[in-house]
Amino acid sequence: MPGKRIYRKLYIWAQRHLSPAVRINLVSIVVGLLSGLAAVVLKNLVFYTNKMLMNFSIPTFVGGNLLMLIYPTIGIALTVLFVKKIVRGHIGHGIPGVLLAIARKKGYLPASDTYSSMVASTLTVAFGGSVGLEAPIASTGSAIGSNVARWLHLSPKYVKMMLGCGAAGAIAGIFKAPLAGILFVVEVLLFDLTSTTAIPLLLSVISASTMAYFLIGPDVQFAFQVVETFQLSQIPYYAVLGVFCGLSSIYFLRTTDRVEGWFARCKSSGYRLLIGGLALGLMIFLFPPLFGEGYGPLMELLSGSNETLFQNSIFYPLHNNVYAVLVMLLLLILLKAVATATTIGSGGVGGTFGPSLIVGGLCGYFFATLSNTLGLPAQSTANFALVGMAGVMTGVMHAPLMATFLIAEITGGYALMPPLLVTVVVSFITISPYEKHSIYARKLAQHGDLLTHDKDQSAWQLMDMTKLIETNFEVVRKGETLRRLVEAIKASRRNVFPVLDSDDHFIGAIHLDEVRTIMFQPDEYDNHFVEDLMAPITDGDIVHATDTLKDVVTKFRVGNRYNLIVLDENERYLGCLSRANTFSAYRRFISETSEE
């Protein structure tokens, strides 16, 4: 085909005339442009679909819009239908799948991931699903980077790099925040920012931001101009806000976990859809700011309009009551986590990136409003809402730098940098003793599938010990004589001989050095049994298949062993691990996962 011939000629020309670094930089620009384009397409799809739906309204006698009760069910039903009939797989949050691909699949993501999250999240969010679009578009950008790299036959090392470039470009394209895009990859996807990865990441985020500027102008996903300046005397208040954001993050993480867990235990997808859709519809009918991502109401809130909390709600008559405003804010903080988890658990597709920002904004606004109501020194509700966004994002995503610079970039400067730093640090300190991993990484960490910045820890956690077991050791049986052992020694190139009983249970081992003298006394061959020749065995000589590779390495190092016997849970012999092969495998893993 003409397309393939052109591609082949370009590929050969690039291989001959461009250095590897130049080729990688060019690919990162292409990935950034595609990711930025995908971000713009997704945001516009949701915006115009949602705008069309909002043209229809069926008011009730108590207020509100009756269609809010059914829109979420329709959206989730369409999403479930799309996933089952078109994708024929599972989409979920998106980011955990990307993390798993980095750790276990050499960065490879299915080609269907380049569009499936976009379509599914559009159906979910446009019809009111209370989730964010950032995680779906980040996973889409990751899939774009992964598949472009594979199409160009790049090595696994560069496939992972382009995956990171795609994710960074997607975040940069949504918010026009290049630095936040890079920090997302470093803190959330746990990439190491090295001299090898820095330039491709920078080129990707710049390309994505440029694409977004070109298509939709300077307006960003969420923008606010800071008017009220920060005062040094406000530091204690922002520190307390950090504690509040940290506690809110713990609530958000554990509530989403429990609600999603409840839906996961429901075997019937139809039952999950019906219950989840109706429950979400009821929450949105009573509290309209829960509809969709929630950036619109939050923007109006930052502009000083409390009325947006009650717009299209049956509680609208209370919008001028400051205590009703405080109660509404608190209810929205508590219910946003439930609504997000209900959307995902019932079959919707979306992420928790956006909801964490919304909850943070509500927390900051609630804190400042409460402070002002109690007669304490007046605080800027807008500034506290913005800083609160960074505080909760820090707790939920364990990404303090990304949260800080995201708010700095979308506010057009660094006027809020001191309070941002105070709040995110206090929030992170507050949540750290209770939640060791981000919302994306916690389940992967539980299953040992998380690649972290600690390469040693990741190696021992992610390497498969069973693949390192060697089975070419000659075994002898209890009751056999020295004659049989000598035959085994002749047939073996190893110096360790496991001794087993008739049921393959391990009972000991014989070392060649221990029997070297008696081997040369043929007249003694039938006078000695193998169990009499076994060397003393301790726990330091044995590992089980269920042990971690970190435990294995510890035994190699502490006991100075060269071989370890591997047993199953029933003490049956499986084989041996050799020190040389284990550490060689470790060095290969480090080489493959290093970005340098």
% of the chain beyond a pLDDT of 70: 90
pLDDT value of residue 467: 81
* Sign of torsion over alpha carbons 374, 377, 382, 383: negative
The answer to whether 43 touches 247, Cβ cutoff 8 Å, is no
Boundary residue ending a domain (153, 183, 216): 216
Q: Report the alpha-carbon distance of residue 305 to residue 298 in Å, rounded.
A: 9
The β-bridge relationship of strands 496-500 and 476-477 is parallel
Above 80 in pLDDT, residue 13? no
In a domain, 574, yes or no: yes
Number of domains in the chain: 3
- Residue identified by tokens 């303090």 is 400
Above 60 in pLDDT, residue 596? no
State whether 412 and 493 are in the same domain: no
Above 60 in pLDDT, residue 189? yes
Per-residue pLDDT averaged across 561-586, rounded? 85
Above 80 in pLDDT, residue 149? yes
In a domain, 483, yes or no: yes
Per-residue pLDDT averaged across 492-508, rounded? 86
β-strand partners of 500 = 477, 506
Above 70 in pLDDT, residue 208? yes
Above 60 in pLDDT, residue 137? yes
More confident residue, 310 or 222: 310
pLDDT value of residue 61: 60
Above 90 in pLDDT, residue 582? no
Q: What is the DSSP letter of 89?
A: S
- The pLDDT-based confidence of 102 (bands split at 50, 70, 90) is confident
pLDDT value of residue 254: 94
pLDDT value of residue 145: 94
Of 458, 497, 466, which Cα lies nearest the Cα of 480? 497
State whether 191 and 263 are in the same domain: no
pLDDT value of residue 518: 82
Tell me the per-residue pLDDT of 443-453, one tens digit each, with 9 for 90 and over: 766 655 555 55
State whether 418 and 534 are in the same domain: no
In a domain, 100, yes or no: yes
In order of 3, 180, 203, 459, the CA distances from 30 in angstroms are: 18, 20, 9, 32
DSSP 28-58: HHHHHHHHHHHHHHHHHHHHHHHHHHTT---
Above 70 in pLDDT, residue 595? no
More confident residue, 206 or 86: 206
Between CA 556 and CA 560, with CA 558 as vertex, the angle to 5 degrees is: 55
Tell me the per-residue pLDDT of 326-343, one tens digit each, with 9 for 90 and over: 999 999 999 999 999 999
State whether 43 and 103 are in the same domain: yes
Single pTM value for the model? 0.81
More confident residue, 472 or 418: 418
State whether 27 and 161 are in the same domain: yes
pLDDT value of residue 206: 95
The CATH number of residue 40's host domain is 1.10.3080.10
- The three state secondary structure string of 492-540 is CCCCEEEEECCCCEEEEEEEHHHHCCHHHCHHHCCCCEHHHCCECCCHH
Per-residue pLDDT averaged across 534-538, rounded? 80
State whether 307 and 378 are in the same domain: yes
State whether 290 and 250 are in the same domain: yes
Q: Report the alpha-carbon distance of residue 166 to residue 8 in Å, rounded.
A: 24
pLDDT value of residue 12: 72
Q: 520: burial class by Cβ within 10 Å (0-12, 13-18, 19+)?
A: exposed
Tell me the per-residue pLDDT of 111-129, one tens digit each, with 9 for 90 and over: 888 999 899 999 999 999 9
Q: Report the alpha-carbon distance of residue 515 to residue 212 in Å, rounded.
A: 75
- The pLDDT-based confidence of 268 (bands split at 50, 70, 90) is confident
In a domain, 407, yes or no: yes
- Phi/psi at 413 (5° precision): 175, -170
On average, the pLDDT of the chain sits at 85
Per-residue pLDDT averaged across 523-550, rounded? 81
In a domain, 289, yes or no: yes
Boundary residue ending a domain (448, 483, 505): 448
Tell me the per-residue pLDDT of 356-383, one tens digit each, with 9 for 90 and over: 999 999 999 999 999 999 988 888 898 9
Above 90 in pLDDT, residue 535? no
State whether 437 and 583 are in the same domain: no
State whether 164 and 67 are in the same domain: yes
- Residue identified by tokens 């990307």 is 98
- Phi/psi at 231 (5° precision): -115, 140
pLDDT value of residue 326: 94
pLDDT value of residue 243: 97
Q: What is the DSSP letter of 86?
A: I
Query: What contacts 475, CB < 8 A, 6 or more positions away?
Result: 488, 497, 498, 499, 500, 573
In a domain, 221, yes or no: no
In a domain, 240, yes or no: yes
> Distance of alpha carbon 143 from its chain centroid, rounded?
14
State whether 327 and 437 are in the same domain: yes
pLDDT value of residue 460: 58
State whether 443 and 585 are in the same domain: no
pLDDT value of residue 365: 95
The β-bridge relationship of strands 573-578 and 563-567 is antiparallel
Tokens at 23, concatenated: 């080729």
Above 60 in pLDDT, residue 594? no
β-strand partners of 499 = 476, 508
In a domain, 223, yes or no: no
Boundary residue ending a domain (448, 470, 491): 448
State whether 277 and 418 are in the same domain: yes
Tell me the per-residue pLDDT of 475-491, one tens digit each, with 9 for 90 and over: 889 888 888 888 888 88
pLDDT value of residue 577: 86
In order of 128, 188, 383, the CA distances from 53 in angstroms are: 10, 34, 33
The answer to whether 423 touches 236, Cβ cutoff 8 Å, is no
Domain membership of residue 181 as a residue range: 2-216
% of the chain beyond a pLDDT of 90: 36
Above 70 in pLDDT, residue 291? yes
Query: What contacts 13, CB < 8 A, 6 or more positions away?
Result: none
Above 70 in pLDDT, residue 522? yes
pLDDT value of residue 426: 97
Q: Report the alpha-carbon distance of residue 396 to residue 246 in Å, rounded.
A: 8
Of 349, 370, 350, 347, which Cα lies nearest the Cα of 358? 350
Query: What contacts 54, CB < 8 A, 6 or more positions away?
Result: none
pLDDT value of residue 176: 86
The CATH number of residue 472's host domain is 3.10.580.10
Per-residue pLDDT averaged across 194-216, rounded? 89
Per-residue pLDDT averaged across 249-260, rounded? 94
pLDDT value of residue 163: 94
Lowest mean per-residue pLDDT among 249-263, 438-452, 571-585: 438-452
Above 90 in pLDDT, residue 384? yes
Tokens at 43, concatenated: 């945001």
The answer to whether 336 touches 294, Cβ cutoff 8 Å, is yes
